[in-house]
């Protein structure tokens, strides 16, 4: 549990004002090999999880999309292709190193016409009310200090009829899977992080932050508290990952 002055950074309790800097340090450390580590950690399955999220987003040509915690642009790049020249995709991240990696990657892929970039905190978005058709956040919500504020902001910037998607690590629904997942997370991941990016601590934090993230039903309730309706979630890979979706009606 945390009070108003402290929050969790993995399993540690830290001052609220300190978490953002600690999370930034994690991603500054891993940004250069972020995509490689994602492939190694998940055996490439993260690509299937993201493909499913893109399908569930239901984005169409000409629409406006905001991708929060956009990282290196796995979702934003696909959205850019879908919305076409008449649409707009904003890649937003609180971390400059990650946003720079994402922008360079989009340019390398020739995606420049309908993509914009915003260095922004998900808890206080610099966008107008009722602006976007879809807002997504993939593997980023667990790093936000005040998750409810971020969900509230996602609701605010969505236009009526718009939808939000949260793709995030969650809680396995089968006990045997949960035990194997814990063993992998707390033994293999830090070793892999040490070998690939010379940083075991960041990947130990990753494992801990996943365990501290709200479970599927709790996050569903948080979406409803933000004002979303027709909220639902889909478990992927036995609940290791879940996609939550809600609409602003």
pLDDT at 33 over 90: no
Asked whether 108 and 137 are in contact (CB, 8 A), the reply is no
Q: Which domains does the chain have, with CATH numbers?
A: 23-173+204-247 (3.40.50.150)
CB atoms under 10 Å from CB of 82, counted, come to 18
Q: How far apart are CA 229 and CA 162, in angstroms?
A: 11
Burial class (CB in 10 A: 0-12, 13-18, 19+), 4: exposed
pLDDT tens, position by position, 127-161: 999 999 999 999 999 999 999 999 999 999 999 99
What does R_g of the chain's alpha carbons equal in angstroms? Answer: 17
Q: How far apart are CA 81 and CA 64, in angstroms?
A: 12
CB atoms under 10 Å from CB of 57, counted, come to 25
State whether residue 28 is helix, strand or coil. helix
Give the rounded percent of residues in the chain with a pLDDT score beyond 70: 98
pLDDT tens, position by position, 68-89: 999 999 999 999 999 999 999 9
Q: Which residue has the tokens 């879809």?
A: 134
pTM passes above 0.85: yes
Q: Which residue has the tokens 């960041």?
A: 202
Q: Which residue has better confidence, 55 or 35?
A: 55
What are residue 13's phi and psi, to 5 degrees? -95, 125
Q: Which residue has the tokens 């879940």?
A: 242
């Amino acid at each position: 549990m945390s009070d108003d002055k402290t929050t969790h950074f993995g399993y540690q309790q830290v001052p609220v004002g300190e978490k953002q800097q600690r999370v930034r340090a994690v991603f500054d450390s891993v940004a250069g090999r972020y995509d490689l580590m994602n492939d190694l950690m998940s055996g490439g399955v993260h690509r299937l999880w993201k493909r499913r999220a893109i399908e569930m987003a239901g984005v169409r040509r000409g629409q406006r999309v905001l991708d929060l915690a956009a990282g290196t642009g796995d979702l934003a790049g696909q959205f850019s292709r879908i919305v076409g020249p008449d649409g707009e995709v904003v890649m937003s991240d609180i971390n400059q190193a990650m946003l720079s990696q994402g922008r360079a990657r989009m340019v390398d892929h020739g995606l420049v016409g309908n993509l914009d970039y915003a260095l922004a905190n998900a808890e206080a978005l610099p966008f107008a009310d009722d602006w976007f058709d879809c807002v997504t956040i993939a593997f980023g919500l667990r790093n936000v200090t005040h998750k409810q504020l971020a969900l509230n902001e996602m609701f605010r910037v969505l236009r009526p009829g718009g939808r939000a998607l949260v793709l995030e690590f969650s809680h396995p629904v089968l006990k045997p899977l949960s035990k194997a997942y814990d063993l992998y997370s707390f033994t293999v991941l830090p070793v892999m992080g040490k070998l690939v990016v010379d940083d075991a601590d960041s990947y130990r934090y990753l494992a801990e932050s996943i365990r501290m993230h709200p479970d599927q039903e709790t996050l569903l309730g948080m979406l409803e508290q933000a004002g979303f309706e027709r909220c639902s979630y889909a478990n992927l890979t036995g609940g290791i990952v879940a996609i939550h979706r809600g609409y602003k009606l």
